[in-house]
Structure 1
Amino acid sequence: MSRLLPTTTNASTDRADDPSLLCLDDERTSDVLAALSSETARTIFRELNERPLTAAALADRLDMSIQSVSYHLENLSETGLIDVADTCYSEKGREMDVYTVSEEPLILFLGTEDDQPGLRVAFKNLAVAVGPASILIAVWETIARFVGSDGSA
């Protein structure tokens, strides 16, 4: 018997090519840092970078309660770090949101808004030299090493 409601998703994680810059005096920076301040939130964010998942699937993968996962998903969603990519249904027919990281990659730099034009020029020059994909990979690996090595953001 075929199911009328989809229990799986075809959602994917698609990232934009042009990241946004967040500086220390940007209003959004505090919200992003607060949302990622807990190890659990960072773990959830890393999982969603790998593949879109429901709250129940995340809870199973991380051996956590759905309530705890939902709390962090709400915080990450409010800051725009993750989005609902799709909807699927549980075996019992309950609607479940499928979460993924936001399409907009972010770069957090320790400078002020006045530093942004110079930083943008530096990134553009670097992009011409090595290509945008290489830059995003290098930045992401650096951030992942930093967050993973000392356990804080």
Structure 2
Amino acid sequence: MGKLLPTSSDATINREEQPQLLCIDDDLTSEVFKALSSDTSQDIFALLNEEPMAAQDISDELDLSLQRVSYHLDNLQESGLITVLDTCYSEKGMEMDVYGPPETPLLLYLGPSDDRPGMIASFKQFVHALGPIAAPVAIGQALVRLVSGDE
């Protein structure tokens, strides 16, 4: 007998070409810093930028309690760093959200919002030089490196 409910997700990470620019004096930037202030949040965020996952899968992958993972997922979702991409069901039939990054990537600029027009123009030139497909990939990789501490 086949399964009636999907127990796995076919969610994929899709990113738009134009990122949302966060400046140091934006309220959202403070929320992003707060959400990424713990190593656990950073680990979860980095993991979800590689592959969409349900909370239980994250718990298993990072060897953390489901309660701890749920706490960090809530914080990351409230700050806009992750979103629900899909829904699937556990073997017991419980509905599970599948998390991943939002379609609009975030570009963090550590300068004032007065510089926003110049930064957007510079980014557009950068995207044009790289090509439309390479920009979202470069942004995603840069964010993962930033969060994981690799340079």
In the other structure, the counterpart of 1:60 is 60
Runs of 5+ in structure 1 lacking a partner? Answer: none
Q: Which amino acid aligns with 1:66?
A: L
2:121 corresponds in structure 1 to 121
Contact 2:49–2:144 (8 Å) recurs in 1 = no
Paired with 1:114 and 1:50, the residues of 2 have a C-alpha distance of 33
3-state SS of 2:96 partner:
strand
Q: Distance in 2 between matches of 1:133 and 1:127?
A: 9
Match of 1:93 in 2: 93
1:44 aligned onto 2:71: no
Task: Give 3-state SS (helix, strand or coil) of 1:22's partner.
Answer: strand
Q: How big is the shift at 1:35?
A: 0.4
Q: Distance in 1 between matches of 2:80 and 2:61?
A: 23
**Which residue identity is paired with 1:93?**
G
User: 1:3 aligned to 2:3?
Assistant: yes
Letter in 1 for 2:13: T
Structure 2 unaligned residues grouped into runs of 5+: none
The CA distance in 1 between the partners of 2:111 and 2:83, in whole Å, is: 27
Q: Indicate whether 1:82 and 2:79 are aligned.
A: no
* Offset of residue 6 of structure 1: 1.1
User: Are 1:108 and 2:108 matched, yes or no?
Assistant: yes
Secondary structure of the equivalent of 2:149? helix
CA distance in 1, matches of 2:45, 2:88: 20
Which residue type is aligned with residue 110 of structure 2? L
Q: TM-score when scaled to structure 1?
A: 0.89
> How many percent of aligned residue pairs carry the same amino acid?
51
Normalised by the length of structure 2, the TM-score is 0.91
Separation in structure 1 between the aligned mates of residue 139 and residue 13 of structure 2, nearest angstrom: 18
Using the alignment, how far apart are the partners of 1:135 and 1:90 within structure 2?
A: 35
Does the residue aligned with 1:73 lie in a helix, a strand or coil? helix
Q: Which deviates the most, 34-43 or 124-133? A: 124-133
Q: Contact 2:17–2:135 at 8 Å: present in 1 too?
A: no
What letter is aligned with 2:100? T
Q: Do the aligned partners of 2:52 and 2:98 also contact (CA within 8 Å) in 1?
A: yes
Deviations 1:56-79 (A, max 9, x none): 010000000000000000001111
8 Å CA contact 2:82, 2:100 repeated in 1: yes
Which secondary structure state, in structure 1, belongs to the residue aligned with residue 93 of structure 2?
A: coil
